[in-house]
A and B are shown apart, each in its own frame.
Chain A
Amino acid sequence: MAAEHPAESAGPGQGAPSVASPLNRIRWLLTVVGVMVLLTAGWPLLNRTVSDSRPLAAGRSLTIGPGGALVARVTVGRDFRLLPAESNPRQQYSMQVGPAQLLVSSVSLPVPTSASRLWAGLRQVLSLSHPGTTLGRLTTMTTEQGQQGVTGAITSTTKAGLAAVFVAPAGKFAVDIVMIAPRAAVKRMKAAALILLRSVTFPGVDPVLQPHRGAAP
């Protein structure tokens, strides 16, 4: 078959630059593909071989949020385990309690937003991460420190759980908490999740504002 490019048909003595021979081209192609496969599959496979679960001592506090005044603190109960690969203190903590999955997410709000509006947003965000789940009616709840929030039940065909939203008093920062467990274990797990829910505080907030003066649900 004729070469596609003039320079390829030109011999070394004819002054045109040489290009890769077919075999060299295939070698380079295999090298490129090999490097891509190594990075794309190698890191995830290696990641899977390392355990992603760290026990958390009962009563340990975790701080979440971008920093400054925009942080919240939650305290874990017994048998909580942290999943470091899915956790980032600025954005989210992913935890396990028995068979339950527990997510604590920070929410940065460009403008003050009410908890009820965030509840509607959480319903949509949940349908992204957990398709098929529905978020029930919200009810208000108060933490041990007097911080007001909203909570409600999560249901799907195989799983159930609860969700909660707490808005910081200035209304520009919030935390979403979601606990999902197999239906059979949900009652037991709810008790564990409630320990965490009731511990929510916003330590970066001016003490004069906290508690009870946050955005109303």
Chain B
Amino acid sequence: MTASGTALTVTESIRAVRGTAVLACAFGAAVLCFAFLRFLLVFPRAAVLTVVLELPLLVIGFVVLRLLRPVRAPALIWSAAALIWGGTAAAGCALLANQGLVGLWAKGTGPTFASNWSASLSAPLNEEVLKLCGVILVVLAAPLTINGPLDGLIYGAIAGLGFQVAENITYGLNSIALAGGADPDRAVVNSALLRVGITSLGSHWTMTAIAGAGVGFFVRHSRSPVARGGPVGDRPAWRAGLLPAAVCLVTAMAMHVLFDAPRPSILIKVLVNLVLAGTFYLLLSNRFIERARRTLAAETTAGLITAAEADCLLSRRQRWLSRRQTDSQPARQRMRARQESILARLDLDAALSAEACRRSPRSLNPAGGR
């Protein structure tokens, strides 16, 4: 409710979510700066080197993860928001939360047990939840951006990547002190070689991808035709979405427990996480493309789009080639707008449950055809 007592509008509620997310990111960034800024003053070259060494992972990871979404990439602004969330809000809050929980483990079980297990008993709980909060905030701040598990997986992976980069930087900086401050450049290079070169393939992005897919399942269930009124509108649909979301979060936590556990070897841990996330991605991706093909076929039958359009729509390259074949720039722009409009309908379709997908394709097009 607003101060005057009138009902809160959609725009106001979205603005509240976005403002809160910005504040959380600023808080997380402040926590990280407070904890690590002195490294920049005392070891300036090594501190800059630590950040520079993470840039390839950040840039390549961001580009590749966005390209992983079939048909078209997720919105750049919300992808960047998820990345920033992971690297600031989630990482900063996790630093404080982990210090508290690791301290409790050490006090309760002693330093020897805690040195082996406190990380794997603390980080999965704190970090997976904090990273996932970013995906949930994207759902709330940008309606229809995350429409199903595949979107959740991609946004989760991007949030995890942001966290991973921030964590790698903190590990790099800490490695300077662990090496006695004698050779800071070598210390950060060694840390980056391990964390970018080896563990990055199966680290945070894989875990949050799985957890994020759970948010996508939840969103899809809550938006099914029986769940009118939003994510908490209809109790049965809302509850039906909780189970897959919880299973995905617990799976992500289990992957994290394994990753931080003293055994097995790091290569096995990386491989397990990579295979789990990769398999899940392939399953969701194939289902998404199958559904998109069905929808396009139905739209073609209904005369909403041409067969030629349907043939090229699901491939970025084919869409680009079809635009290149047009004569003029305005025609290309019109074609691009039309392709985007049809793809947006496909995304809306993905937002519906399988039951909704069996409805008439015309119902997906409130604007009324061509």
Chain A interface (Cβ within 8 Å of chain B)? 1-8, 10, 12, 14-29, 32-33, 35-36, 39-47, 50-52, 82, 84-91, 93, 105-111, 113, 117-118, 120-125, 127-129, 131, 165, 174, 176
Contact = CB atoms under 8 A, between A and B. Distances in A.
A17 B352 contact: yes
Given A36-B24, A89-B112, A121-B181, A22 B13 contact: yes
A156 to B, nearest CB: 15
> Which 9 A-B residue pairings sit nearest by Cβ, starting from the closest?
A43-B100, A121-B181, A85-B103, A44-B100, A22-B13, A107-B180, A121-B182, A15-B363, A20-B230
B181 A19 contact: no
Interface of B: 7-14, 16-17, 20, 24, 38-39, 42-43, 89, 93, 96-104, 106-108, 110-112, 114-115, 125-126, 129-130, 133, 136-137, 140, 143-144, 147, 176-184, 186-187, 190, 223, 227-233, 348, 351-352, 356, 359, 363-364, 366
A127 B41 CA distance: 10
Contacts of B43: 124
B11 A128 contact: no
A128 to B, nearest CB: 5
B230 A19 contact: yes
Contacts of A15: 359, 363-364, 366
Contacts of A33: 20, 24
B38 A6 contact: no
B129 A35 contact: yes
A128 B184 CA distance: 13
Contacts of B9: 1, 22
A94 B265 CA distance: 29
B107 A51 contact: yes
Nearest to A90: B115
A16 B38 contact: no
Nearest to B90: A36
- Name the residue among A29, A52, A90 with the largest chain B CB count within 10 angstroms: A29
Contacts of A20: 13, 140, 143, 230-232
Given A21-B230, A22-B8, A110-B186, A84 B106 contact: yes
A35 B127 CA distance: 12
A8 B96 contact: no
7 contacts: A16-B366, A19-B230, A26-B16, A40-B130, A50-B107, A93-B111, A117-B182
A86 B17 CA distance: 37
Contact of A22 (B12, B112, B184, B232): B12
B13 A25 contact: yes
Contact of B143 (A5, A46, A123, A174): A5
A36 B133 contact: yes
B100 A16 contact: no
Contact of A88 (B111, B130, B356): B111
A17 B364 CA distance: 9
